[in-house]
């Protein structure tokens, strides 16, 4: 079941996301939190960075990475996270932020999934949404039962990522948590802001549940919160 909350501004959506993080930190002795990337989460990283070091009991990970990208590679997801939020960079150095293996090698991906399971599984999963309805890099057509896997990026996803890479080419492949990974999280909090997300939000909440809109599977999850600003929620 999805709870939908509509707020006035993207900043209020960030406030709601931070409140969810704080709740998990207050309630769970050693929570594993999986972070999302993209412009939607820039506010969250800025506000976390301003708070200073993250609580020592937190374990962190993230959703996805471009194939072969290392943490220092500009345009990459881990690079984005650690540059916009140095406290998460500190966790990466200490080994309490678990990066997605960007090699895409099946054994490495399986080992990563085992590490997350050994840490108790994902307590809180943050998500954005692609304007084609993707979650992480699970593009339309992706099967629901996949765990971490290597995948091809959709055309709209590559177009939207152009600014991260210009003048270089946008990568064609990535490594991503699968829909089964995402739906296995105990709490999911998806943020969507701006008019460009309106059609995807509509399809997620009111379209058919199926692979044509990966985000629609969230309606089968027990404990999901979707936070929309008015622009993404529509009239």
Mind telling me the catalytic residues? 64, 132, 134, 139
Smaller CB separation from ligand GLP, 64 or 123: 64
Pick the piece of the chain touching ligand GLP (CB under 6 A) from 45-53, 68-76, 101-109, 129-137. Answer: 129-137
Residue 73 in tokens = 């590679």
Q: Which of 126, 137, 148, 217 binds ligand GLP (CB under 6 A)?
A: 137
Q: Which of 88, 129, 182, 188 binds ligand GLP (CB under 6 A)?
A: 129
CB-based contact 45:79 (threshold 8 Å): no
Is 63 one of the binding residues for ligand GLP (CB under 6 A)?
A: yes
Q: Which of 21, 24, 32, 36 binds ligand GLP (CB under 6 A)?
A: 36
Spatial distance between the Cα atoms of 217 and 14, rounded to a whole number of angstroms: 23
Is 185 one of the binding residues for ligand GLP (CB under 6 A)?
A: no
Residue 4 has phi, psi (to 5 degrees) of: -105, 130
Q: Which helix (H) or strand (E) holds 33?
A: strand 32-35
Nearest-approach distance from CB 12 to ligand GLP, in angstroms: 16
Residue 172: count other Cβ atoms within 10 Å of its Cβ. Answer: 11
Is 130 one of the binding residues for ligand GLP (CB under 6 A)?
A: yes
Q: Which of 10, 43, 128, 214 binds ligand GLP (CB under 6 A)?
A: 128
Q: Which of 4, 16, 25, 39 binds ligand GLP (CB under 6 A)?
A: 39
Nearest-approach distance from CB 129 to ligand GLP, in angstroms: 5
Is 189 one of the binding residues for ligand GLP (CB under 6 A)?
A: no
3-state secondary structure 53-103: CCCCCCEEEECEEECCCCCCCCCCHHHHHHHHCHHHHHHHHHCCEECCCCC
Is 157 one of the binding residues for ligand GLP (CB under 6 A)?
A: yes
Residue 170 in tokens = 């946008």
Q: Which helix (H) or strand (E) holds 109?
A: helix 106-118
CB-based contact 33:24 (threshold 8 Å): yes
Nearest-approach distance from CB 40 to ligand GLP, in angstroms: 3
Q: Which of 2, 4, 28, 38 binds ligand GLP (CB under 6 A)?
A: 38
Q: Which helix (H) or strand (E) holds 227?
A: strand 224-229
Angle, vertex CA 1, rays to CA 196 and CA 229, nearest 5: 30
Nearest to 125 by CA among 65, 185, 45, 179: 185
Is 202 one of the binding residues for ligand GLP (CB under 6 A)?
A: no
State the residues that interact with ligand GLP by CB under 6 A.
36-40, 63-64, 128-130, 136-137, 157
């Amino acid at each position: 079941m999805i709870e939908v909350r509509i707020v006035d501004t993207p900043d209020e959506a960030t406030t709601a996301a931070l409140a969810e993080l704080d709740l998990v930190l207050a309630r769970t002795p050693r929570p594993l939190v999986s972070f999302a990337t993209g412009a939607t989460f820039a506010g969250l990283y800025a506000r976390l960075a301003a708070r200073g070091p993250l609580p020592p009991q937190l374990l962190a990970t993230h959703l996805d990475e471009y194939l072969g990208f290392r943490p220092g590679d500009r345009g990459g997801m881990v690079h984005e996270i650690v540059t916009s939020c140095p406290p998460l960079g500190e966790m990466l150095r200490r080994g309490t932020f678990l990066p997605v293996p960007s090699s895409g090698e099946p054994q490495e991906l399986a080992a990563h999934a085992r590490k997350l399971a050994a840490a108790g599984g994902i307590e809180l999963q943050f998500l954005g949404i692609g304007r084609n309805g993707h979650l992480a890099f699970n593009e339309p057509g992706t099967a629901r039962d996949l765990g971490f896997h290597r995948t091809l990026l959709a055309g709209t996803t590559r177009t939207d990522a152009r600014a991260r890479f210009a003048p270089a080419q946008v990568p064609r492949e990535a490594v991503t948590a699968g829909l089964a990974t995402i739906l296995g999280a105990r709490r999911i909090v998806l943020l969507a802001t701006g008019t460009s997300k309106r059609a995807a939000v509509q399809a997620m909440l009111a379209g058919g549940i199926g692979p044509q809109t990966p985000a629609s599977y969230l309606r089968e999850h027990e404990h999901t919160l979707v936070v929309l600003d008015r622009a993404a929620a529509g009239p």
